[in-house]
Amino acid sequence: MDIASLALFAGVYFLAVASPGPAIAALVARSLSSGFRRSLPFAAGIAAGDLIWFTLTALGLSVLMQSFHGVFVAIKYAGCAYLIYLAWKLWTAPAEAPKPSAAARGEGLRLFFGGIALTLGNPKVMVFFLSILPLVIDLDALTPLAFAEVAAVIAPIIGGTMLA
């Protein structure tokens, strides 16, 4: 892949990542509530989720996802209903002051997988990888080397943006 195509992709991808969305809101909330250091696994999970979306798109699974659009809409609404349920439980729960505690065993792994789950269900990421990415990169002509080059561009952009 030529450098101009990679630079174009990097610019478009940075704009998509840096625009506010659920991942940035969740990461900011996590950082403010528990500190920068304890939010790092969550940020790593978000980055891993973007790499998973890119891999799925490069393998042509976006065609499958577009074919079963109704199933993905149903999953999205089920996720929305679950979030509303969680919000209701949080709203009606008795207020208690948070107790400072040491990092729980396995918390980092849970946060990492939480970041992946958030990214895989994030509509903004879906739109980028299923609609915008094919406009910037010719996925039919994507070689393993070009895949590695694009992944090498994705990782520092998403990682650096989430850390910032």
**Is residue 18 assigned to a domain?**
yes
pLDDT band per the 50, 70, 90 thresholds, residue 152: very high
Full residue range of the structural domain in which residue 131 is found: 3-91+108-163
* Amino acid type, 103: A
Reported as a single tens digit per residue, the pLDDT across 102-141 is 555 668 888 898 888 888 888 888 888 877 888 888 877 7
Query: Which ranges of 21-163 would DSSP assign to H, the alpha helix?
Result: 22-34, 40-58, 61-67, 69-92, 107-120, 123-127, 133-136, 144-163
CB of 21 closer than 8 Å to CB of 162: no
Over residues 96-100, the mean pLDDT reads 61
Whole-number pLDDT of residue 14: 92
> Is 101 within the bounds of a domain?
no
Q: Establish if 159 belongs to a structural domain.
A: yes
Strand, helix or coil at 107? helix
Phi-psi region of 35 (alpha: psi -120 to 50; beta: other; left: phi over 0): left
Backbone angles phi, psi at 94, to 5 degrees: -65, 145
pLDDT band at 25 (very low <50, low <70, confident <90, very high): confident
**pLDDT in the model for residue 9:** 87
Best-predicted range by mean pLDDT among 18-22, 58-62, 107-111, 149-153? 149-153
In a domain, 98, yes or no: no
pLDDT tens, residue by residue, 55-90: 888 887 656 666 777 776 777 777 677 778 777 877
For 36-55, how does the pLDDT look when each residue is reduced to its tens digit (9 = 90+)?
888 899 899 999 999 998 98
The pLDDT score that the predictor gives to residue 65 is 61
Residue 99 lies in a domain: no
Judge whether 71 lies within some domain: yes
Higher pLDDT, 2 or 10: 10
Q: How many domains does the chain have?
A: 1
Does residue 103 belong to any structural domain of this protein? no
